Each structure stands twice: as structure tokens, then as C-alpha cells.
Amino acid sequence: MGEVFAGRYELVDPIGRGGVGAVWRAWDHRRRRYVAAKVLQQRDAHSLLRFVREQALRIDHPHVLAPASWAADDDQVLFTMDLVTGGSLVHLVGDYGPLPPEFVCTLLDQLLSGLAAVHGEGVVHRDIKPANLLLEATGTGRPRLRLSDFGIAMRLGEPRLTETNLVVGTPGYLAPEQMMGAEPDFPSDLFAVGLVALYLLEGAKPDAKVLVQHFAEHGTPPAPRGIPEPLWQVVATLLQPDPSARFRTATGARKALAAAVELLPEPGPDDELIEIFDQVGPLPTGFGPEGPLKRASGVDDVPTDPRRPAGTPSGTDPSPPATPPTPPPTPPWQDTPPAGPPSGPGWPSPGSPGTPPTGPDSTPASTPPGTPATATGTPATPGRPPASHQDWTPSTLSGPAAPHGTHSEEVPPAERSGAMSETGSFHLPPPQPTGTPASDAAASDAAAEAVQPPAPHP
């Protein structure tokens, strides 16, 4: 039997590891169900304060995986969440490579819906990346995404837990303003959503530094190969290097995405069917679907099931129902019939159909008067011609896109097993001197892997 925590949570098996703690599958003896339990491993005050901040977050939304309860036992603490077994977007892309645009739109809509709820509470996530976007094991049914891991999230106006010259987040998913030391804000999360969208559509992690440089030098480029133009306009607005040129809110981005979905071509009958498998694995010996098969020592004797007397092992039921319970119906692909033009069998529109949205909540910030704009309303660099299809290909960002159903890049074992997170603190980069194009390219490649400490002030 597993270790019992605070007389209530029986740890079953480890299923992942985050920046400050290990994640376990656990049995909740009070609520009689399996949960995910994040156990703090570090004992320093800094890690404990982050842990307390994360467990204090309470956001009830179908696409947010926030802490539900917490417990302390001697010098150990944990908090619990719903157990989500379908793996992350890293697993999905590792299994299928580039995903169909309609499927990506469904995932992006759910992500933006959850992010709007998070931002509505005044919270900046600061670590949106494929590994933190989990999926329910829905098989071939409608996917269900959950935004998770609020370990470095913070409310607007809260004091930082890191030095002012440190950047917190995951390399490759940081917005340009984050790398410059700006205060955390909602547009930084939206930039990361754009990177996630490109990752799903291309099947490989985009090179954020090359992408930002391309946008800054050439303006918004045409849609990369394989990405429909309406969808690209939404993604490109999320990826603008200037925060004021992005969507102002996650809700505004979601409205624009809904309008873009109506313009996508219908999926063909031969399109690959995406299936989301259970990635957690079978229960270990001694545990069954209804909990541990034997009562472990240290479990509180207070009965929580009115049909169960005190002292009855949790794996048995003295008065089972006369007839087996009816299993819940398989969730339908469509929650509600979509209005307006259909967007293809099996793939619902991510939001209410309609004309492209207008207004301050659904459009990027306005450009200064007299500034030439691109197709998405983004200021173009003065004196530079618009980018052409010849200098913009998927390989510009992340290498050649792989066909659907192939492994475009091998998922690292650390990410598949849920090992150590890439999230961390990084020193702000020093100002880069102007050099030759060759030296600038080499410096950009080196900076993509690690952020160097700042040069001392004279």
C-alpha cells in the first residue's frame, strides 16, 4: 500500500515532476476518487511561498486545471487537482506530428477560453507551453484541454519572488518584452499562445528568436505552407513582437478565431482521425478502479460513504447497488449544433459564428497615425518592402513540416515521462553590440539556448 498523507491522501505512483515538486496519482479517501497530488520537495522558504501561491489559486473553469484542496503533514505539504490522463500536447504532437487546422482551432479555442478566465481573476500564467496543456483521454471524441501548472503564475501587482534582473519562464516560450525585463502582463501569455498554435500546426517547436526577428525586419509575412490564411491572420496577430499590436484580451483573440474557423475549408473524408489515449498507465498492484484493495495504516476512520461503517476497508462495499450503475454516455462531438455555415463534420466552430469581430476587445491596439500597416493591422517596418512567399517558409521557424501522422520530432523522454520541468529563472541578457550579419546570427543562435548574465555597470 502507498504512503498515506494527512490521513486522507494515499499516494499511489508518481506520474510527473514539476519545477518545485513531484506529481503523484493518489487516492482521496474522503471523496473516494483518484486525484493528482503535487508534493512539495524543496524545503526552502522561497519554494514554499511559490507553493502556497499556487495552491491558493481557485479558478473553476472546464479548461483550467487549478488546485482543489491542500494538506500538510509534518514537514511535507501537497495540493490536489483533477487527474487528467490524456497526456500533454507534447504527447499528441509526438504521436501525430502536425495536427489538422480544424483540430488546432478547437484546442486553441479551449485554451483561450481557460486563459480568459485566468486573466479575469487578474492572474498572469507566465508559463504557457505545450507541456503544461493537458488533455483528457477522450479517445476519438471531442478533445478537452486543461491549462495547468500555475507554479510561477502571479496576480497583477503582486511582489515578485525573483530578483529584478531575472526572467522566470521556459526558454523558447518567452515574449520579447519578458526577455527585456518587463513586468508580467496578459499580452505575454497571448504571445505564448501563438507559439503553441504554430507548434501544433507545424509539428515542431518554433524558433522564437528567429520568428521575432523576421516579424521585426519584414513585417507580418504570408501564411506558411499548410496553414490556412484566415487562421494565420489570428496566429500572426498573437505573435507580434510589439505587445500593443497583439489582441488586447484572450476573449478578443477567441472571437477572431471563431470568425476565422467559418472561412476554413471543410475537412475531407480521408483526413486522419486524431485519438487521445490514456497516457498515465494501469494502476499498480494493490489498487483497483474503486481504490486500494486493502486498508492502509494511517487512514482516518471517519466514514465518508453513508453506506460504509467505520473501519470497513475502502476497497470493499458492504451494500452494493442491486443493479450495476449505468455508465455515462460517450460525450458527443458537438456540445451544441453550430449555427451558420458548417465547419466540417466532427469539428465544431470554437465560438459563436459571425462576422469578423470589431471593437476594442476583439482587435489589436490601433497603430500610430500615418504608420503603414500589414494585412493584420500590424505596423510594417518603415523603408522595408513587404515579405514575399519566396523568403517565408515553415523552415524559417522550425524546419520542414512533417506530413500528418508522422513523427516530425521525437518527444524527449523527459517530457514523455513528465520529468523535470524546463521552467526556471534566467538572467536578463546584456545589450547586444551591433556587428556583422554573421556574428549577429551566431549570437542569436547562442541566445536561443541560454540567457547570459548582464554585463556589470561601470
Q: Which residues are catalytic?
A: 127
Residue 35 near residue 26 (C-beta atoms within 8 A): yes
Q: Which three cell numbers stand for residue 396?
A: 524559417
Q: Which three cell numbers stand for residue 6?
A: 494527512
Q: Mark residue 78 as left, alpha or beta (left: phi above 0; alpha: psi -120 to 50; beta: remaining).
A: beta
Q: How far is CA 133 from the centre of its chain?
A: 3
Integer angstrom CA distances of residue 409 from 127, 150, 334, 406? 22, 27, 31, 9
The dihedral of CA 169, 171, 175, 176: what is its sign?
A: positive
| 169: three-class secondary structure by DSSP | strand
DSSP assignment, residue 168? E
Residue 426 near residue 167 (C-beta atoms within 8 A): yes
Q: Which of 120, 293, 127 is nearest to 195 (CA)?
A: 127
Phi, psi of 375 (to 5 degrees): -65, -25
Residue 78, H or E segment:
strand 76-82
The dihedral of CA 278, 335, 81, 419: what is its sign?
A: positive
Residue 87 near residue 77 (C-beta atoms within 8 A): no
434 burial type by CB count under 10 A (0-12 exposed, 13-18 middle, 19+ buried): exposed
Q: Cα(218)–Cα(233) distance, rounded to whole angstroms?
A: 16
Q: What is the DSSP string of 5-73?
A: ETTTEEEEEEEEE-SSEEEEEEEETTTTEEEEEEEE---SHHHHHHHHHHHT-----TTB----EEEEE
Q: How many CA atoms lie within 13 A of 349 on its CB side?
A: 24
Q: Find all residues with CB under 8 Å of 384, minimum gap 6, and list them.
A: 217, 218, 219
Residue 111 near residue 145 (C-beta atoms within 8 A): yes
Q: Which three cell numbers stand for residue 96?
A: 501525430
| 240: three-class secondary structure by DSSP | coil
